[in-house]
Amino acid sequence: MLSRRLAAFAASAVLSTALAVPPDVVAAATFDAPRGSVGIGDPYFPLDGNGGIDVRSYDIHDRYRFAEGRLSGWTAVRLTATAAISGFNLDFLLPVSRVEVDGRRVTFDQRHHELSVDAHLAAGETVRAVVRYSGFPGRYSYEGESNWLADRHEVVAMNQPHMAPWWFPANDHPLDKARMRVSITVPREMQVIGNGRRVDRTVRRGLATTTWAADEPMVPYLAFFAAGSYEVAKGTAQGRPWLVAVSRGLGTAAQREAMGLMMQTPALLHWLEGVIGPYPFRQVGGLTTSLPVGFALENQTRPTYPFMGDGPGAVRTVVHELAHQWYGDSVAIAGWKDIWLNEGWATYFENLYVETHGGATTDDRLREQYAGIPADDAFWDHEVADPCPDHDRCVGPIFADFVYERGGMALAALRNRIGDSAFTTLLRRWAADREGGNGSTEQFEALAEDVSGEDLGPFFDAWLHSTTKPADTAANGLG
């Protein structure tokens, strides 16, 4: 995500539902096995994700009614129990009316954004849980985020670190990637754009259902859909299909500018491949919305953008989000304290693009920033690799400018410290060795030491783990 966020805050909506048990419902008996935990173990967001399960796939079927702002539908979640459990949780905000596990209706409870399902599963058992729901996503907030972005003509499900709970039940943490298939029903005159490739569009009466499927597993917040009226362009570059879309809600001149920018996506991706290595997904693209979103987001295979014009800053933003396809999407973070690994790399590649296209070098940029920010500035007051140490209201801190800028500076300084050759090997190995998986700050530091053959502990302490300005020394990549 690019850090220029405009957050909408609202009082947290609390949803609490406990259903009476109809005669055909299988109620959970008392089992020796414990329930899966209500969180996956991330201290920044203790209720995010869930223990005891590993989701394999989501099959999402939603209908959105623009006039009412109502979303209804069902999602089939294929999951495997990682231990013997008597129940599991999913992260979801909308009111649920029914849950089935392998075709049998089961009891459940909803509190806040936790959907607790009663189901006795043996370790290693795989089941298909179907959740049915209906509600108004624009009325809900969680962790200070009111994430639903829509008007009467367009809707885009995009945000970070949370988005899934507003439109499908999920194991909502980067540690649990899964395959996504998304079917969205809207009025037939509207188009639907999503991740991956469009596999079907069925028109019935005045409605159209469009299905998108991604070939590679993804983190839940990276799944998205957009519905509205769009100008679409597509083609093939370097043997890879690309598709870009621009909202017709923009004026004619703005549409032209936005499409010109989106059409640069294949070439910018080709440049990144030349530096990093093979692109990790089968499709690529982008979407520009007319909705008043204040940030761009790296949705897997198809980032979303606000209208930005088509100048150098806009091109850098596209580079930033495409770099995330490797650093953030393919290699997801292990925990939210590691967010600098996503944003630092994306910021570094913005600056590298400028360097390789006639502008200032990454070292020039590093030294300009270092010299221009005094040691007593609040910019240096936080630990880059743990930006929210008090674990309270972490959405703001993890997307603060210092995470992006000091993360990018740390990588530029590391390049100076270990040299271009070792640094290039490092960035390529981090992307290739962990493709499709996750990575932590500690694992990155270990790889950097392995590649360089140097003890980099003091360097990383200065740049990532300190709350003071690094000393101007060669050991810190500055002297």
The pLDDT of residue 351 is above 90: yes
To the nearest whole number, what is the mean pLDDT of the chain?
A: 93
**Strand 96-101 relative to strand 126-135: parallel, antiparallel, unpaired?**
antiparallel
Q: What is the pLDDT of residues 315-327, one digit of tens each?
A: 999 999 999 999 9
More confident residue, 248 or 13: 248
Mean local confidence (pLDDT), 74-97: 98
Q: Tell me what the mean pLDDT of segment 180-191 comes to.
A: 98
Residue pLDDT, tens place only, 250-293? 999 999 999 999 999 999 999 999 999 999 999 999 999 999 99
List Cα–Cα distances, 190 to 120, 205, 336, in angstroms.
42, 14, 36
Q: Which CATH superfamily is domain 1-228 in?
A: tricorn interacting facor f3 domain (2.60.40.1730)
Reported confidence tier of residue 340, pLDDT bands at 50, 70, 90: very high
Mean pLDDT within 299-303: 98
Q: Where are the domains of the chain?
A: 1-228, 230-328, 336-476
Task: Give the pLDDT of residue 54.
Answer: 98
Confidence of residue 112 (pLDDT cuts 50, 70, 90): confident
> How large is the average pLDDT for residues 334-359?
98
Percent of the chain with pLDDT over 70: 94
| Mean local confidence (pLDDT), 342-371 | 97
pTM of the model: 0.92
pLDDT category at 479 given cuts 50, 70, 90 is confident
Average the pLDDT over 373-385 and give the result: 97
Q: What's the fold here for domain 336-476?
A: Neutral Protease; domain 2 (1.10.390)
* Whole-number pLDDT of residue 388: 97
Class of domain 230-328: mainly alpha
Quote the pLDDT of residue 18.
34
Mean pLDDT, rounded, for 401-416: 98
| Identical fold, 230-328 and 336-476 | yes
Give the pLDDT of residue 303.
98
What is the pLDDT at residue 32? 63
Q: What is the pLDDT of residue 30?
A: 41
